[in-house]
Amino acid sequence: MRGSEIAIKTSRLRKVFDNIVAVDDIDLDIRVGSITALLGGNGAGKTTTMAMLLALLQPTSGDIFLLGKNLLQERATIARNINFSSPYVDLPNRLTVRQNLTVYGHMYGVENLKQRITTLSDQLHITELLDRKHGTLSAGQRTRATLAKSLLNKPRLLLLDEPTASLDPDTADWVRTLLQAYCKAEGATIFMASHNMYEVERMCDDVIVMQRGRVVDRGSPKKLIETYSRENLEEVFLDIARNRNAAT
């Protein structure tokens, strides 16, 4: 694929903490417009990989290119076109939802910010929450507010960590639908970490499985299910995890 068709590219990406190799020379190429999941158990290297893609951690070695630009060299330029959401990273709790969205909107230079906040509030059903302090919201309400923040700047690349955590099944379903529609309408790319195998099966074009810092398998949900002769992706995940653990 040409460089313009790649949203995320890493080359021999490696991160070492003291003597612990958290990410071990991984090569990724995530195509523009795709929804890709990064799977793995605790300690697989998912969180460290995400942190390096967000420039929160500097790689020990290797290169990262986002939207065709070198992350270490052009971080400021890239930042305008990406965003991130995680239920485990809170917005400032003393600010209202509206204040949070306004602050982040100005940081991203969002035009017609009031209208953008209104549109996202309607889409994510948080209009009635706008003037409540973030710290008073339930876990599910916080997840929706954080998702609104992540879509403010209409990112070309959206990184998500457990995007529907704490949401009830109905709300989680329409959030998945909204994210898929956003990706299609904007030509955006979504790269997500999730432990929800149903969610990954439904949303994702491609799945990357990590274990002990390395990529151990990759393919579409359908392809992985067929390859491992399983009924669903959760069985595939368990099969990979248990076989790899048994071999060590």
pLDDT for 4 equals 58
CB 116 within 8 A of CB 97: no
Query: Half-sphere exposure of residue 116, counting CA atoms within 13 Å on the CB side?
Result: 18
CB 83 within 8 A of CB 147: no
pLDDT for 87 equals 85
pLDDT for 175 equals 92
Q: Mean pLDDT of successive 10-residue segments in the chain (248 residues)?
A: 77 96 96 96 92 95 96 92 92 97 96 97 96 96 95 97 91 93 96 93 96 95 95 93 58
Joined together, the tokens standing for residue 96 give: 């209202």
Tell me the pairing of strands 69-70 and 61-66: antiparallel
Joined together, the tokens standing for residue 214 give: 């390395």
pLDDT for 246 equals 44
Burial class (CB in 10 A: 0-12, 13-18, 19+), 35: buried
* DSSP symbol at 86: -
pLDDT for 244 equals 58
Hey, CA dihedral for 203, 206, 209, 210, is it positive or negative? negative
CB 49 within 8 A of CB 64: no
Site of tokens 């990759």: 218
Q: Which run of H or E residues covers position 165?
A: none
Q: How many whole angstroms separate alpha carbon 73 and alpha carbon 64? A: 10
